[in-house]
A and B are shown apart, each in its own frame.
Chain A
Amino acid sequence: MPAHPEFVAAFNEGLAGAALPPGVTATAPDEVERRFAVYRNNVAHGLTEALAQRFPVIKRLVGDDFFAAMARIYAEAHRPQSPVLLVWGDSFPAFLAGFPPLAAYPYMADVARIEYARGLAFHAADAMPACPERLAGVDPSRLHLRLHPSVQVLRLDHPAVSIWQRNQPGASTERLTLAGAETALVLRDRAFNVPVHAIGEGDAVMIDHIRGGATLMAAAELAQWVDPRHDPQPLILRLMQAGVILDPMEDIRC
């Protein structure tokens, strides 16, 4: 009978607070609880730190002690499913939305969605930006733009972009007048920074349709349909400067 699978299962339960696994001992056997607690603490602390790295603004908003206690609860219920912790935390926003002690702070989940998206953008695959000079001459009714995989649009129920921006180093400390819902544009720029911008529904629709395969002209028209005053120029300029518009489908590579 192999004993190791049962040993590891019992050790794992011990980490989550159950009794010590059979056979655990020490030179002074009455100290074995304190010694096993090092493993309990290492696992909880290690996962808390991993979550804190991914969600620094949430940590700042709730405070270090609250975050550590909350992260412990989350980590026990939602163990990482891969040794690659870069992708852990996808269920953290939903957890925050349903975490009773945060019921009075409904914007937390949206702030966490922004932070999770920033992590995805930070680690997204590399892709070469298109050459602006080559794009300039192409008929917009024939131009299919491709966007960098880091580009994400998040339609949020709360003014979470403003809250996120206000909690960056060096941000203004003036009183914030919170508006309603905001939509976030998350991307990774040429210098590997991952800024977050609030965009209007026209910009959001335009990005949706560019990514859906519409031509630049069609995407701009669809954006104007939801927002008659929409001007596509500032968005295209911003995407171009960030380097997230890639070689288009047309044969105009640099």
Chain B
Amino acid sequence: MRHLPNTAGAGFKPEHFAAIREDAGAVGFLEVHAENYMGDGGLPHAQLAALRADFALSLHGVGLSIGGPGRLNADHLARLKRLCARYEPESFSEHLAWSSHGMDYLNDLLPLPYTAETLSLVCDHVDEVQAVLGRRMLLENPSTYVLFEQSDMAEVDFLRAVAARTGCGLLLDVNNVFVSCTNHRMDPRAWLAAFPLHLVGEIHLGGHAEEALPSGPLLIDAHGSPVADPVWALYAEVIAQGGARPTLVEWDNDVPEWPVLRAEAGRAAEILARGGMALARAS
């Protein structure tokens, strides 16, 4: 199976379609949310088919509720399988989170305690996804705003265990690392030092919003602004340590004109190029 290139990509927004078509080679790959392409036909599929011909593609799910109890939604998994068969994306990824309660879909990535029970559940779900899709998936670390007394594993250990048991890869969202660590008054560099960088198949970068709490800042994963400077700094360290990885810039709300998003991806591409050179010198 083909892989995403070790270059910078952008989250595709339909309003950028014409601009991207006239800007060939602007980014190394595009990523779409799978659920936006689960209609039967029409413009979304026409656009994706056209872009697919020119770009490597990452299919990113937001609705599978891998961190939820019970069985995965079989209808939804079948829809994902059809999408994978139709577009043959270089990568499929989902989140360490839950988003459904029974049949109720909540349209948000909600947190779970990290316990032996949830580890076993998440591993079963990842196994099922990989078996049905017939491919290795990437699991993304979440942004979180609360902690749970029930948790008896660190997030990094949980992710590492899922990858070890299921063979899945990891999607490292550096903004999520910064958001969660800031919110839980932890050192993001310590988090990253414990994280298995060699399992990373893709990196996400995105903007966050900030609120003030008495104990300090509360960061919110809003994807409505440029990537913050401390996140760029962390990202550069990750690349310097682990080498180049396919890197996506996400911008889902208050979406800017294409050149703005393209420039953010360009900044990631520069860091990827520098990181690659640093690694070459070191070896």
Contacts and interface: CB of A to CB of B under 8 A. Distances in A.
A30 B73 CA distance: 37
Nearest to A36: B146
Given A4-B121, A28-B215, A83-B76, A188 B145 contact: no
Contacts, number: 146
Contact of A46 (B35, B76, B108): B108
B112 A4 contact: yes
A35 B218 contact: yes
A74 interface: no
A81 B117 contact: no
A204 B115 CA distance: 60
B105 interface: yes
Contacts of A34: 213, 218
Interface string B178-199: 0000011100000000000000
Most B CB within 10 A of own CB, among A11, A36, A38, A46: A38
Given A25-B149, A126-B41, A188-B42, A11 B214 contact: no
A251 B155 CA distance: 62
Nearest to B79: A84
Interface in A22-40: 23-28, 30-32, 34-36, 38-39
A175 B150 CA distance: 62
Contact of B99 (A24, A31, A83, A192): A83
A192 B14 CA distance: 13
Interface stretch (B64-72, B85-93, B242-250, B259-267): B64-72
A159 B113 CA distance: 53
A124 B183 CA distance: 43
Contacts of A9: 101
A7 B185 CA distance: 24
B51 interface: no
A95 interface: no
B110 A2 contact: no
A188 B75 CA distance: 27
Interface in A1-31: 2-5, 7-9, 11-12, 15, 23-28, 30-31
A43 B110 CA distance: 9
A181 interface: no
Nearest to B76: A83
A122 B218 contact: no
A2 B113 CA distance: 13
B279 interface: no
Nearest to B213: A31
A230 B36 CA distance: 41
Given A4-B112, A50-B107, A83-B62, A24 B148 contact: yes
Given A5-B69, A25-B147, A125-B40, A82 B76 contact: yes
A108 to B, nearest CB: 24
Given A81-B104, A84-B35, A123-B42, 11 more contacts: A3-B115, A4-B115, A5-B69, A24-B149, A26-B146, A28-B213, A38-B220, A79-B105, A82-B105, A123-B39, A123-B44
When A and B form their complex, which 8 residue pairs have the shortest distance between CB atoms, in order from nearest?
A83-B63, A123-B39, A126-B41, A28-B215, A79-B104, A125-B40, A192-B43, A5-B69
